[in-house]
Structures are given as C-alpha cells and as structure tokens.
Amino acid sequence: MSGPVEIAGADAGADDDAVQMSGMFLSLLGTADAVTLTRWFEQLAATGRVITPLEKRPWGDHDGTVVDRYGIRWLIGFHPEG
C-alpha cells in the first residue's frame, strides 16, 4: 500500500538485539492533509493511548501525541490551510 507517507518496519531475528527507544517520538508533521493526519491519530489512539490530544495550539498549528499499541510514541500534526 502506498500513500502520502510510507513507513516500513520489520521484526528482529532471534539472535538480533531488540530496538529500545526512550524519550523519542516518530513524527508525522505536515506529511499529509489535515483529514488524513487526524484519521491516523484517531486510528493509533483507538488501540493505544493519547498523551496529548490532537488540537489547535497557541501558535496556530494542530498537533498531538499518542502511543500506539506497540508502545511507539507518535507526534502528529499539521498547519491548517487557508
């Protein structure tokens, strides 16, 4: 499947070190239109948990952070058009 952003990953083999992240987010800022980014946020939140809601910030952009069902933290946001 392809779209505005393509993200791929793979599991580690039995003899490979596991990836461990601390204090890090994967970021999707302005990588797609507002409707798409809002949908991605909602889908990640449905099986994960919201850290900060996707909402308008004082500087005018919209962003939010969510932890997906695998424990990966995502920062998702956009600058509204118009």
Entry pTM: 0.78
Quote the Cα angle for 21-25-28, to 5°. 145
Please classify residue 73 by burial: count the beta carbons closer than 10 Å to its beta carbon, then call 0-12 exposed, 13-18 middle and 19+ buried.
Answer: middle
Which pair of tokens denotes residue 44? 């990640």
11-45 pLDDT, tens per residue? 788 888 877 778 888 999 988 899 999 999 999 99
Residue 2 has pLDDT above 60, yes or no: no
Q: Where are the domains of the chain?
A: 26-78
Which of these ranges, 5-9, 36-40, 47-51, 54-58, has the smallest mean pLDDT? 5-9
- CA–CA distance, 82 with 72 (Å, rounded to integer): 32
Q: Which CATH number is 26-78 given? A: 3.10.180.10
For residue 1, what pLDDT is reported? 45
Residue 48 has pLDDT above 50, yes or no: yes
